[in-house]
């Protein structure tokens, strides 16, 4: 029942999952008897809180804080924190819902959660970011724990923010324990976590291409976003001899047909934290399209010619018209680094065209999977080498792809990885919920 217009994205995500479950419920009506649908769409717990902090001018600022603990059938709640002015309870609910099925697909013992704030990190000093993070953790700390709820980063939350959040947790509790993932390598972080979502999305694309006898080698790749996921997608694409030619941020799109200069991109985004337009100072031959010049019905990045697309910025950044343009331009493989980047109409178009389409909940699960590897290392007081983490990530992504493809085939729609991902993820959670009784 759509009772609140404030939950648009949640309804979009839930509708997709529920539509996909139709054939499963026809074959396995006992899910009805356990009211699994009614239970799974209802979060176990939603926490809303006030976050007060002081800016550099001494002015008191107030933001909203959120944590949703959606489903713990498979393990402790796990999911990132997003700091972005667009964050609302509805956005956190959609992200938490997606997280349940994504985490189930990894095969690891993690439940679904998500959180964040409408705080805008842009233009804030380091001191302001720190004071905000400390204020945020001052409430959050009482709701999390290494075996109850373990948040990670998401948009606007990287190693710097995780550091300030972790420091405050330690100050409040006196405990040095794995209550966050994405930590720095010297203080409990896992090697390979920072890279994992992007690398995983590329491995997923590789798996989809392999299924039809192709590789990424020589493929021209379109990437949106210029943050954590986009940067490490580009890095892995170079390693596999593909050619990433675009990236974007909230101000515009960059197109460098000779290939994005990755070292410069890292410098601009990880260190200087400036707009992509600055790229042109070093590469005047590249082109930059400001958002003011975007097509009115979509995003400039999807109108550029390429072979494979990696949406890695945010939800609903790829419209139906964008999808049509991608298909017209010959793109026949899409791996989603972001959560729900394609609108429902765009997804329908990809599925109708029967291209290789990897939905976010499958293709970007490498991040949360590696977060669980970080939890495993923290829990056993161990530190694994990169080779071990990367090998596991590769294996997990291949496993997710296999599950999605096998489940799609089982339900007579072999190219539909959306159907495969939703049914496979749902079955694992639903079966665990039934085993654990009515709770
Ligand atoms: P970052 O904050 O590191 O980067 C986000 C990028 O997307 C930035 O370039 C940002 O531009 C751009 N962006 C964000 N919001 C908008 C918007 N509304 N319009 C246009 N551009 C936008 O975040 P991540 O890379 O971590 O996350 C990107 C996506 O991947 C999200 O959907 C996230 O949920 C998903 N994801 C992330 C995981 C992770 O491990 N980090 C794991 C799984 C999924 P600007 O800087 O100008 O705002």
Based on the fold, state whether residues 100 and 206 are members of the same structural domain.
no
Closest atom of ligand 1 relative to the 364 alpha carbon? 43
In a domain, 345, yes or no: yes
Distance CA 393, CA 107 (A): 12
Give the per-residue pLDDT at 385: 97
Token pair belonging to 346: 């765009």
Q: In this structure, is residue 239 part of a structural domain?
A: yes
- Residues tagged active-site: 114
Predicted-complex ipTM score = 0.99
Contact 373, 354 (CB under 8 A): no
Contact 171, 139 (CB under 8 A): no
pLDDT of residue 6: 80
**What's the pLDDT at 439?**
86
Residues of the chain with pLDDT under 70: 1-5
Which residue puts its alpha carbon closest to atom 40 of ligand 1? 367
pLDDT of amino acid 3: 55
Could you tell which of 87, 154, 157 is best to mutate to test the pocket of ligand 1, judged by most ligand atoms within 8 Å of the CB?
154
- pLDDT, position 144: 98
Would you say the CB of residue 436 lies under 6 angstroms from ligand 1?
Answer: no
Predicted local confidence at residue 159, as pLDDT: 97
Of 189, 208, 242, the domain-final residue: 189
**pLDDT of the residue at 5:** 63
- Is 50 inside a domain boundary? yes
189 lines ligand 1 (CB under 6 A): no
CATH code for the domain of 172: 3.40.50.10860
In a shared domain, residues 24 and 54: yes
| Alpha carbon distance 62, 68 (integer Å) | 20
Is 410 contained in some domain? Answer: no
CB atoms within 10 A of CB 59: 8
Q: Does 291 lie in the same domain as 171?
A: no
Question: Which residues sit in the known binding site?
Answer: 78, 99, 102, 153, 197, 228, 371
Q: Quick check: 310 and 205 in contact, CB under 8 A?
A: yes
Please, are residues 238 and 217 in contact by the beta-carbon 8 Å criterion? no
Range of the domain at 18: 5-189
Q: What are phi and psi of 261, to 5 degrees?
A: -75, 100
Report yes or no: 59 and 93 within 8 Å, Cβ to Cβ. Answer: no
Same domain for 341 and 225: yes
Residues 159 and 208 both lie in one domain = no
287: part of which helix (H) or strand (E)?
strand 287-290
157 to each of 162, 163, 379, how far by Cα in Å? 7, 10, 23
pTM: 0.97
Residue 118 · residue 84 · CB < 8 Å: yes
The pLDDT assigned to 259 comes to: 98
Mutation pick for ligand 1 pocket among 226, 266, 314 (CB with most ligand atoms within 8 Å): 314
In a domain, 418, yes or no: no
> Within a domain: residue 207?
yes
pLDDT, residue 382, reads: 94
């Amino acid at each position: 029942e759509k009772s609140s217009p404030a939950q648009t994205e949640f309804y979009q995500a839930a509708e997709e999952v529920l539509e996909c479950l139709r054939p499963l419920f026809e074959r396995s009506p006992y899910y009805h008897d356990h009211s699994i649908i009614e239970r799974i769409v209802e979060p176990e717990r939603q926490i809303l809180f006030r976050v007060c902090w002081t800016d550099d001018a001494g002015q008191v600022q107030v933001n909203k804080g959120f944590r949703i603990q959606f489903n713990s059938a498979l393990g402790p709640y796990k999911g990132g924190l997003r700091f972005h002015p667009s964050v609302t309870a509805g956005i956190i609910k959609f992200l938490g819902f997606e997280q349940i099925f994504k985490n189930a697909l990894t095969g690891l013992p993690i439940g679904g959660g998500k959180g964040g704030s409408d705080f805008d990190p842009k233009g804030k000093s380091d001191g302001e970011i720190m004071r905000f993070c400390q204020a945020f953790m001052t409430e959050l700390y009482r709701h999390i724990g290494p075996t109850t709820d373990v948040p990670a980063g998401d948009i606007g939350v990287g190693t710097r923010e995780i550091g300030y959040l972790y420091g405050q947790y330690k100050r409040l509790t006196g405990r040095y324990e794995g209550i966050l993932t994405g930590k720095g390598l010297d203080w409990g972080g896992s090697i390979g976590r920072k890279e994992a979502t992007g690398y995983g999305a590329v491995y997923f694309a590789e798996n989809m291409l392999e299924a039809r006898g192709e590789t990424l080698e020589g493929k021209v790749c379109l990437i949106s976003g210029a943050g954590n996921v986009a940067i490490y997608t580009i890095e892995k694409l170079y390693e596999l001899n593909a050619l990433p030619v675009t990236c974007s941020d909230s101000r515009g799109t960059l197109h460098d047909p000779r290939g994005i200069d990755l070292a410069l991109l890292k410098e601009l985004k990880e260190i200087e934290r400036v707009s992509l337009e600055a790229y042109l100072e070093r590469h005047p031959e590249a082109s930059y399209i400001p958002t003011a010049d975007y097509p009115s019905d979509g995003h400039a990045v999807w109108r550029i010619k390429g072979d494979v697309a990696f949406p890695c910025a945010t939800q609903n950044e790829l419209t139906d018209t964008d999808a049509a343009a991608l298909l017209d331009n010959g793109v026949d493989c899409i791996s989603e680094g972001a959560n729900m980047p394609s609108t429902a109409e765009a997804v329908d178009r990809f599925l109708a065209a029967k291209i290789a389409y990897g939905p976010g909940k499958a293709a970007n699960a490498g991040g949360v999977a590696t977060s669980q590897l970080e939890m495993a290392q923290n829990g056993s007081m161990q530190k694994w080498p990169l080779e071990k983490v990367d090998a596991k990530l590769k294996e997990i992504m291949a496993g997710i792809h296999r599950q999605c493809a096998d489940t799609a085939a089982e339900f007579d729609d072999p190219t539909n990885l959306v159907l495969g991902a939703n049914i496979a993820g749902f079955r694992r959670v639903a079966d665990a919920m039934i085993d654990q009784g009515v709770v």
